[in-house]
Amino acid sequence: MFKTLLSLTALATSASSFANGAPNDMERIVVSGSRVIESIDEVPASITVISKKQIEAHLKVNPELQSLLAQMVPGLAPDTGSSSNTGQSLRGRAPLVMIDGVPQSTPLRNGSLGVKTIDPSALARIEVIKGATSVYGNGASGGIINYITKQATTKDTHEGLVSVSSRFSAVKVEESAGARVSAAVNGKVKSFDYLVTASYEENGVQRDAQGDILGLQYGLSDAETQNYFTKLGYEFDEQKRLEFSYNYFSSQQKTDLGDVPGDINQGQKTYAIHVPEALQKRGKPQGPDGNENITVKYTDTNIFANSQMTLDVYSQDIENVFFFSLNLANPDEGYEGGQSIIRSEKRGARATFNSVFDFENVEARFIYGIDALQDTTSQPLVDGRVWVPEMDMDSVAGFLQTKWVINDDIIVKAGVRRESIDLSVDDYETLKLCISATQCSIPLQVKGDTIDYDATTYNVAVKYNLSDAFSPFFNYSQGSDITDVGRLLRAATVDDIGLIQTEASIIDNYEVGFTSIFDQVRIEVAAYRSTSELGTTNSFNEVTGVYEPVRAPQEIWGYEGIVDYRVSDTLSLMATYSYVEGKDTQSDTYLGSRQISPPKATANINWQPLDTLSFTVSYLHVGDRKRFSPNADGDYVGDQGPISSYNLINLSGQYQLAESWNAFMGIENLFNSDYYPARAQAYTYGGYNIKGLGTTATLGVSYSF
């Protein structure tokens, strides 16, 4: 397999921060993906760093983090155009989403809403670490998306920023205008510093290229989004610091519209219209309903000789409300459908130590510590029925990561993590669900139990900074994953939880790549392969009408590449390409689009003709993926619909009106491309066949003080 990887001519990103200065500025970028701050040129792995400048530029076009990540991160699937990131895998597997290292995903019952957990205006940068990793524990089979929040100024002063904007359809303005306001203040008084950000946004209706309102399933039309973030810090002295942070996020669709359902197999889109109250979107407003995070962190940079200590405790409460679905019907008990909620409570504590020692021509770093996590997750229905019973997970892990820098140009990393997990589930009964009058699942009494998982995972990596022209690396890492046990429990076909195939999946991830710098050009490439003995795919049961999990061995492979060219002090270009493919190796069949995304290419041009004026043009190409054949009726099922290519171009710009005033604009889908997003083409499940946004404009102004 490695001969195959090495023979690939188009490869991928090992680390990227686009158009943020000269290409060799990358060496000065620091990342915290290994749980300590380190220079990115000493990281032998694929990392994408999205800077504050890039976040702000994309915010002028689209405020959704999904859209930003899809544009900036090779290997991440295209934007879904909705509030859900289901199908937006990272290198064919699920990423773990975090805010400052605190997990936001709900891996025990993955509802794929973790990407939308904070407003971009609160972020200083985003770090994306690709490939299976156990550095942060369960749920990172595809890698890590870590949102790094802003810090208060280090000067003894006070600063602030207020931004107001409106976003509307340029195809048909009627009812589409929304409003957004965000504000931030921060400052420092002696040893105390503070940062407070707040944002509030109300969307109008969202329209496709034909002017029709987009379908409502996971839709963003009429969505109301609020985010309030606070970070308070106190420095006892130059070495000791205590920090408290709080994040509140809510984003719910509150609409009086109703869907006109279509069928992707027939080429018919789902769209929304005004309808009588009886036909409007049923149930509670869908989306995150006031999710909260609290973190307290204490740092001592010299706890003992050459050693730093970081202690943090955190809590998280999540309630994600899903759409009303007729597939959750049970006519025998009077239920015409149902609406589910994923509830998750996490309580965690972590102790991380970082010791550095210098030997002759060798710098040795040892990162070690203990993680503890309690995660209670369930998925009840709003009407009181229990779809996924409460799962109580207690996890304790110890880890050691070593890093050796030899002669300043050879970096060797090796590490081990030992994790012990207890997962408890009480006795429960699976739900009787009817997709039609004749297609119903059979309820089953299941005996509960406590399942023990003990896993030891390893990683080793080498990077050789031979020269600017060629810095190769090799990386092998393992991840231990018990993702989406809830999906297995709710589709149980045996009467004892001990008989359900809930074993942890060990993912082996292999990667090779290199970085090359020539004057103002930086090239980064990598190729990867990951294998797992137990994957999670779905198979449609034609008798019950239920999609049931299938755990079978999987192999996923791919390559990515980036070229970053600083043409001049005022003009920079960046282009990427990524390809991923995967198979169920037991049946020798391709994996569906829930995991595998089509090829993706992006380009970004940044131009600053004047000190007061700048523009960004971004281009996205999503390629074809047509791996499956229709059934006997000529229809595609599950996530196996054929994907045809499409292209999108966005434009943004800003102009400094005065010392403290900036005006900005953004246009999404500049040429009004009429298309279905990749997920909408591939997913044949009802309600997903929704077209992408037509031309949408943003106008705004900001004031800093």
Tell me what pLDDT residue 66 has. 94
Distance separating alpha carbons of residues 492 and 447, to the nearest angstrom: 11
Least Cα distance to 705 among 128, 108, 157 occurs for 157
Tell me what pLDDT residue 130 has. 92
Distinct helix (H) and strand (E) counts, the chain: 5, 41
Report the alpha-carbon angle 75-81-84, nearest 5.
80
Tell me: pLDDT of 420 over 60: yes
Higher pLDDT, 417 or 503: 417
Length of the chain, in residues:
705
Model pLDDT for residues 88-102, shown as the tens digit of each residue: 999 999 899 999 988
End-to-end distance of the chain based on CA atoms, in angstroms?
Answer: 57
Q: 107 near 134, Cβ under 8 Å?
A: no
Domain boundaries of the chain, sorted by first residue: 2-704
Give the model's confidence band at 18: pLDDT under 50 very low, under 70 low, under 90 confident, else very high: very low
Model pLDDT for residues 263-276, shown as the tens digit of each residue: 999 999 999 999 99
In sequence order, the 6+-apart residues with CB closer than 8 A to the CB of 4 are 557
For domain 2-704, the CATH superfamily is: TonB-dependent receptor, beta-barrel domain (2.40.170.20)
Q: Phi, psi at residue 320, to the nearest 5°?
A: -105, 120
Q: 44 near 510, Cβ under 8 Å?
A: no
Q: Which range is least confidently modeled, 239-243, 314-318, 464-468, 503-507?
A: 503-507
**Chain centroid to CA 554: how far?**
22
Distance separating alpha carbons of residues 510 and 530, to the nearest angstrom: 6
Mean pLDDT over 539-555 rounds to 65
In sequence order, the 6+-apart residues with CB closer than 8 A to the CB of 184 are 121, 122, 150, 160, 161, 195, 196, 197, 198
Question: Global pTM?
Answer: 0.92
Question: Highest mean pLDDT: which of 112-116, 459-463, 504-508?
Answer: 459-463
User: Bridge-partner residues for 182, per DSSP?
Assistant: 163, 199
What would the two tokens of residue 560 be?
Answer: 């990515």
Max Cα distance, the chain (Å) = 78
What would the two tokens of residue 393 be?
Answer: 């997970």
Least Cα distance to 344 among 294, 379, 295, 300 occurs for 379
Amino acid type, 83? S
Distance separating alpha carbons of residues 471 and 92, to the nearest angstrom: 26
